[in-house]
Structure 1
Amino acid sequence: MPSAKTLKALGTVVVAVIAVVLAMVLSSQDSDSSATAGSATSSTSASVATSAQKSSAQQVSSDAPARVLATLVEIDAGRWPDSANAVGTKGGVTFRNSEGRLPAVGAGGGRVVYQEWDVNPKKNGQGRDAERIVTGNDGSAWYTLDHYETFTRIR
């Protein structure tokens, strides 16, 4: 009988594989409609115009690394940062968007409230790295590899 730790690690691998497959399927569907619907992803260091973006429920970026998509699956399932099994991994804290690099207003006209999440589990004896996922109450999700300087829309 496998140990609980082995089963948990296996579960994490399965979730990561599902996230990658989901991203590939959604990204291939997105490429079929991108000619009429606009770009599915955007990288920005300035404010992003929401009118050029598609529905967040239908959009997943193929530009985001697999580990980012796997972490987003964990966030959506309500398991992150606990599933990281790493003390000091953070998630769910309010992200203020004080530089205005993300849209302040959602497609429905309401104010978007954001939360930030570590992408990677914190390693013992080291600080948290710069990679973050920022999720909005409008269903949007963004990835930054440089601690909020630039963002790539995941959905």
Structure 2
Amino acid sequence: MRDTTRRPLLLALLVVSALLAVWLVARAADTGPTGGTDATQRHTASASASASPSVSGTDPVSGLPWIAESALPREARDTLALIAAGGPFPYPRNDNQTFQNREGLLPQERRGYYKEFTVETPGEDDRGPRRIVTGAGGEKYWTEDHYDSFERIREGT
């Protein structure tokens, strides 16, 4: 009697385990790193959403709060102008280099997708904590606390 009740239980446990494994693999595929076309389409869609006049709220792609370009410190706006001009950057060994997103606060993308740029911090004798991080899709992010938090920059506002 005992063997006949164990077999259905083991079979049910095996089926549930297999379904859980399939679900986890499918979920990882949905949230894992993406290549250029999908990422570009997502960021292009978010760029069109950013054309609205409101600067409050949350970016639907990254889940991060928006910050208006005009609300950034002058040094950050200067860095945005340098990025648009292609440099020269004040810290060439560090600026325009790959940002690895180790903190996982930005949308997950392939390695090399993000670049970081130093934003001068008055009173600091080193690079300081402020950065702008850009994505290959044109999106830009601001951190004033050395990657502990980010805001999505709404340019032209």
Normalising by structure 2, we get a TM-score of: 0.51
Determine if contact 2:62/2:107 at 8 Å carries over to the other structure: no
Matched, 1:61 2:69: yes
Q: CA deviation at 1:41?
A: 6.0
Cα distance in 2 between the residues matched to 1:66 and 1:76: 15
Which structure would you say has the larger Rg? Answer: 2
Question: Does the alignment pair 1:91 with 2:102?
Answer: no
Residue 120 (1) aligns with residue 120 (2): yes
CA RMSD of aligned residues (A): 3.6
Whether the 8 Å CA contact 2:62–2:106 is kept in 1: the answer is no
> Structure 1 residues 120, 52: CA separation in 2 closer, same or farther (over 3 Å shift)?
closer
Shift of 1:100: 1.2
Q: Deviations over 1:16-66 (max 9, x none)?
A: xxxxxxxxxxxxx743xx3xxxx5664xxxxx750778xxxxx95333222
Instruction: Find the counterpart in structure 1 of residue 61 from structure 2.
Output: 50
- Provide, for residues 98-118 of structure 1, a one-character-per-residue CA deviation record: whole Å limited to 9, x for no partner: 22101125xxxx888101110
Show structure 1 runs of 5+ residues with no match.
Answer: 1-28, 43-47, 54-58
Q: In structure 1, what is the Cα distance between the partners aligned to 2:138 and 2:128?
A: 25
The number of aligned residues is: 102
Indicate the percent of aligned positions where both proteins have the same amino acid. Answer: 34
Aligned CA distance change for structure 1 residues 41 and 148 (closer, same or farther; 3 Å): farther
1:102 to 106, 124, 128: 106
8 Å contact kept, 2:100–2:111: no
